[in-house]
Structure 1
């Protein structure tokens, strides 16, 4: 169980930097990643994309809307998440949405399963704006926490069953569940 002395690091939502906030909360470190480091990853991915296709289409909006993120607000895509985690020696395993969350072993040691990142559809501004949102879940001192940057504070789950119910609800509403593993998985 988490002790009163244990501090759970949690970043609050700013613009569309939920991936940045999720990564820092997942790593429990304020500067595990920065906006500059995620932008650099995005630019590198865009260069790799351009070199693979041989052509890059540029428009005046290309200054703001990059292939893997929005330069102004963030809004990073899955490719940035995977590349960022790989830089830190982690790997991502997509949960097969045809299976319930009961197929996820939430009791495996932290040296195997670092945490979970989910991507959900959200509506903002009275439903006018529809986008995707990244959320980190992490087990800290034996307690699973929802580290959603939209929450005022980290939200502890009662037990692993409550985590599974949350994940099943997420999957049922079109969310994606990604397991963040320590090291490469074969």
Structure 2
């Protein structure tokens, strides 16, 4: 859904399709990725590393790279999806902190950031993981978290770093999405 700021595309959370929403917000395009597309990537990954000895009746729902009921996808699906679009992913070493991330890199180099954090849902009864996209648009960094009602701009780059350092402190993972292949 487009927001009141017509420059920024932002999708709201539905079930556990936060990876779909994060990717679409990262690419600033509705249906850059769909549930069907990520399911196909997940199935392809499962076939590539299939082991029939680990199959059980629950495998119909709890697939190796996503949950068929809720849509919760893993890191392998994220990386494969981004690589299909010519992007590369650099897993950021939390020990270096956010200060080592070049948030001022040109947009033709740095596309954005995808974060994976632990969240508690349903009054604390369910613990799961959640994908969040951050992207610089028109010179401003935005938190495009699908749990937010609208994208939240960061007033200064140091606020992005504070947010990322807080993510590290709470066990989150930070993935840098690059527009060009990194060696």
**TM-score interval for Structure 1 and Structure 2 normalised by the shorter chain:** over 0.9
Q: Which residue of 2 aligns with 1:139?
A: 136
CA RMSD of aligned residues (A): 1.2
- What is the deviation of 1:122? 0.3
Between the aligned partners of 2:70 and 2:135, the Cα distance in structure 1 is: 25
How many correspondences in the alignment?
180
TM-score by length of 1: 0.94
Q: Which residue of 2 aligns with 1:161?
A: 158
**Correspondence list, 1:101-120, <5 A:** 101-120=98-117
1:184 aligns with 2:181: yes
Q: Which residue of 1 aligns with 2:66?
A: 69
**Correspondence list, 1:90-105, <5 A:** 90-105=87-102
Between the aligned partners of 1:100 and 1:6, the Cα distance in structure 2 is: 33
- What is the deviation of 1:5? 6.7
Q: Moved runs in structure 1, 4+ residues, more than 6 A?
A: none
Q: Which residue of 2 aligns with 1:83?
A: 80
After superposition, the C-alpha distances for 1:20-42 in whole angstroms (9 at most, x for unaligned) are: 00000000000100000000000
